[in-house]
Amino acid sequence: MLWALFALNVAFGSWLLAVPNLGSAGIVGTIITLGGNATVCFVLASIGAGALFVAVPLTRGLTRSGGLPLVLIAIGGLCGVTAVAGVVAVVVAVALGLLFVVIDRL
């Protein structure tokens, strides 16, 4: 699960760097960037990915932890989940919308 979060944070941070103007993305861009705060999302994704990256060699590939590595994993996890919360919200909304369309057609 932490490896998936690491990959999502790296991909999300890369996307935030690649898209020059998120203000023109409309409501979806606003939700994804947690209210239009692209810089905050980028910092959170970077902290999450960086903390997990540092914790990997200390925990033998995120398999054993305790003390400082556990704190790094907790910080990386919390920052990473917060950064991608907007993306998860959009994905859940689209999935629910599709579910309602399928149920309505039955």
Per-residue model confidence as pLDDT tens digits over 27-54? 888 888 888 888 899 999 999 999 989 8
For range 10-21, the mean pLDDT: 87
Question: In this structure, what are the phi and psi dihedrals at residue 63, rounded to the nearest 5 degrees?
Answer: -105, -25
State the distance between the two ends of the chain, measured CA to CA, in whole angstroms.
35
Q: What is the mean pLDDT of the chain?
A: 88
Predicted confidence at residue 47, as pLDDT, reads: 94
8 A C-beta contact, residue 30 and residue 48: no
Buried b (16+ CB within 10 A) or exposed e, 28-50: ebbbbbbeeebeebbebbbbbbb
Domains contained in the chain, number: 1
Q: In the chain, count H helices and then E strands.
A: 5, 0
pTM of the model: 0.81
Residue 33 structural domain: 2-105
